[in-house]
Structure 1
Amino acid sequence: MNPIPVNTPLLNGNELQYLTQCIETGWISSEGPFITKFEAQFSNYIGCSHGIAVSNGSAALDIAIKALNIGPGDEVIMPAFTIISPAQSVVTAGALPVLVDSDALTWNMDVNQIEAKITAQTKAILVVHIYGLPVDLDHILDLAKKYKLKVIEDAAEMHGQTYKGKMCGSFGDISIFSFYPNKHITTGEGGMLLTNDSELAERCKKLRNLCFEPNGPRFVHHELGWNYRMTNLQAALGLAQLEQIDHFIDKKRAMGASYQQGLLPLKAKGYQLPLEKTEYSENIYWVFGLVAPSPEEKERMVNLLTENKIGTRPFFWCMHEQPVFQKMGLFKNESYPVAEKLARNGFYVPSGLGLSEPELATVVSIFNQF
């Protein structure tokens, strides 16, 4: 049996045509027509006025934090259960991440725990939508208004997902997306910031480009930024992918429905399958995750799948248990039991857009053998 990787991208649209156009015209760097086209079309798709394409999602987070003037002495409330990028951007800016535990059903941050974490030093709430369902945003937006806080919306995994009919990524004062190969649309590496604030958009454009002064001498700099530019090649790839986004979403949801049906017997064994929908959203299944009844059972099942050439990935590891942050003295004596259970017991199975129906059936079959 051929290996079934945890993710395979789908590149069957105009990708080759657009990339060839870049090469034939010589526009391969961070300047070129596909950059502005991709920024305009993606921001329009999400429903925001401005899109700023960057080299990756983590770069977008760095820029978002600095553009909002978050720094030493500031606190940013965020989930304990997420990839390290959001916390890394907060910490490297000199600010303090303040963690919130997860909701056991959606795996997103528990919005009911946020208000108790707000202090005079709180500057922003960093919302991270996890795995396929969005965070319950209404409560967060109410808190942000009440306490005059900024909302940074990390929609890296949410291309095309909606909250109460409105696109995820359109709710934050500033929002970010990632276009890594396992996302619903990919540019290989890449990311984008979205905002409706014209001044904030210009600030982000400046920060991604080494803070060159738009009207001053070219190589005279008054502050530090980054070289976080996206290439025209990447934008060409992204534009071709964006043309297929509706098809990709339908494919992901069909894949999720097949797994829900095929892996239903796992519930009797104590496994938790993803929540199919909430009152505000239907799961988009960025990945299809499973939470085993114990770490030992997770290890047993992952090993069996690996022996049968089925790829898996563990869930994110909690921020308060990251060795790098512990060495910094952060999060001492903090515990987030729901997030810890997800991190210890969770894993996901092949669910990339390139997964074929026979491959999905094989994955289900291997599970049911054991």
Structure 2
Amino acid sequence: MNIPISIPDLSGKEFDYLLDAFSSTWISSRGKYIDAFEREFAVFCECNSGIAVSNGTAALHLALVALGIGEGDEVVVPDMTFAATINAVLHARAIPVIVDIEKDSWCIDPREIEKAITPKTKAIIPVHLFGQPCDMAAIMNIANRYNLYVIEDCAQAHGARYNGKKVGSFGNIGCFSFFGNKVITTGEGGMCVTNDSHLDGRLRLLRDHGMSRTKKYWHECIGYNYRMTNLQAAIGLAQLERVESILKKRSKIESDYRDYFAGNQSIEFQRNDINLTEKITWLVCILVDLKKRDFIIEKLKGYGIDIRPFFYSLSSMPIYNQYKFSSRNSEEVSQRGINFPTNYMVTESILSDIGKLLSVN
């Protein structure tokens, strides 16, 4: 048995579009698929502009630089997130400030954000962790009162909503990842979305070496090569055409897990009933007894079932600990968390196997 944590769904027009892009010879960072993917993804996110980039980390770094955040500036980030969030801040030469998460949502705690604000604070990066939207009403209220930028990290939350509005459309810039295990994929890739026309221009300038869009080889600023290829965008556009279907399939997989393990008091699923939020299923997430977590993971891996621990809390790692402001809830969630395989191979038989293995101490 070999059940991976995630499998990209490439059953649509991905190969057709990829072959078309290849045959056109527009295989680098220009072409019709780049334009179409940017346009259609912005529509999906209910934003005015989409700027395709090479990966999700590049999207975060580009957003920080476009907003003028740099040396000496503080940026508030959650303790529970993939390291790309904090690394992007450090790449921008800014100072990350790590704050705790809410116990229920596992997302950044607005109360801790406000406590951590100093005269040097310039931005907040709320991470919609595992498809769960952050409390964007509270976060935007704080940002408005303290005149702070908001960069949404939506790498795991394509299509999630808060109070009926898509994540990525609340802050100054929303950042997405299209890595192979994400809801939709381009293999590697990312996207910045924004409703600000000035930021749209700034992001595009910085993405392409800082080169003028009207005067070839004239560089207006020091930029980066953060471009997506037309080949990647071809795959992304085909994925995007089926994103609602993909989201429904992932949601059904999570429902199957919930139904199968209903009544199992040793498992605590990610909350899906938090007020005003409409989470999506990225990976099926549970909490188990801290003392049993690692044993469960190794046991299921031994049977070819790829279940994974949650991310380490940022503050638990020596290279980031100096930036910690608060971390109580994140430490517990990190140490108890498990991601189940979330793909079409998870059948009733596989659920039964997982259930049997979990029931054996």
- Structure-1-length-normalised TM-score: 0.93
Retained in 2: the 8 A contact 1:288–1:351? yes
Retained in 2: the 8 A contact 1:184–1:353? no
> 1:97 corresponds to which residue?
96
1:109: Cα distance to partner?
1.0
Name the CA distance, whole Å, in 2 between partners of 1:335 and 1:124. Answer: 17
1:305: Cα distance to partner?
0.4
Retained in 2: the 8 A contact 1:9–1:354? no
Name the CA distance, whole Å, in 1 between partners of 2:244 and 2:353. Answer: 26
1:359: Cα distance to partner?
3.9
Alignment of 1:225-236 (within 5 A): 225-236=223-234
Equivalent in 313, 317, 341 of residue 312 of structure 2: 317
> 2:343 corresponds to which residue?
352
> 1:331 corresponds to which residue?
323
Structure 2 portions without partners, runs of 5+: none
Distance verdict in 2 for CA 1:198–1:103, change over 3 Å: same
Retained in 1: the 8 A contact 2:161–2:279? no
1:360: Cα distance to partner?
4.4
1:272: Cα distance to partner?
2.1
1:264: Cα distance to partner?
2.9
Retained in 2: the 8 A contact 1:38–1:239? yes
Name the CA distance, whole Å, in 2 between partners of 1:141 and 1:187. Answer: 31
Letter in 1 for 2:101: S
Deviations 1:313-344 (A, max 9, x none): 21111222223235xxx236x55121011222
Letter in 2 for 1:243: E
Deviations 1:18-76 (A, max 9, x none): 01111221121111100000000010111111100001000000100000000111111
Name the CA distance, whole Å, in 2 between partners of 1:119 and 1:5. Answer: 44
Name the CA distance, whole Å, in 2 between partners of 1:40 and 1:317. Answer: 35
Retained in 1: the 8 A contact 2:154–2:167? yes
1:101: Cα distance to partner?
0.6
Name the CA distance, whole Å, in 2 between partners of 1:357 and 1:18. Answer: 34
Distance verdict in 2 for CA 1:339–1:61, change over 3 Å: same
Letter in 1 for 2:299: L
Structure 1 portions without partners, runs of 5+: none
Alignment of 1:238-253 (within 5 A): 238-253=236-251
1:170: Cα distance to partner?
0.8
Name the CA distance, whole Å, in 2 between partners of 1:369 and 1:282. Answer: 34
Deviations 1:267-322 (A, max 9, x none): 2x3x321112211123312111122221x300111111011110012111122222
Equivalent in 260, 280, 288 of residue 284 of structure 1: 280
Name the CA distance, whole Å, in 2 between partners of 1:187 and 1:170. Answer: 22
Retained in 1: the 8 A contact 2:253–2:343? no
1:216: Cα distance to partner?
3.7
Deviations 1:155-202 (A, max 9, x none): 111111111111111111111110111111111110000011111111
Name the CA distance, whole Å, in 2 between partners of 1:105 and 1:343. Answer: 13
Name the CA distance, whole Å, in 1 between partners of 2:87 and 2:345. Answer: 31
Letter in 1 for 2:203: C
Letter in 2 for 1:26: T
Aligned residues: 361
1:264 and 2:255 aligned: no
Equivalent in 267, 272, 275 of residue 271 of structure 2: 275
Letter in 1 for 2:313: C
Identity of aligned residues (%): 38
User: What secondary structure, in the 3-state scheme, does the structure 2 residue paired with 1:128 have?
Assistant: coil
Retained in 2: the 8 A contact 1:52–1:194? yes
Distance verdict in 2 for CA 1:195–1:353, change over 3 Å: farther
1:92: Cα distance to partner?
1.8
1:93: Cα distance to partner?
1.3
Name the CA distance, whole Å, in 1 between partners of 2:228 and 2:194. Answer: 18
> 2:334 corresponds to which residue?
343
1:223: Cα distance to partner?
2.8
1:346: Cα distance to partner?
1.2
- Structure-2-length-normalised TM-score: 0.95
> 1:300 corresponds to which residue?
295
Distance verdict in 2 for CA 1:315–1:224, change over 3 Å: same
1:246: Cα distance to partner?
0.9
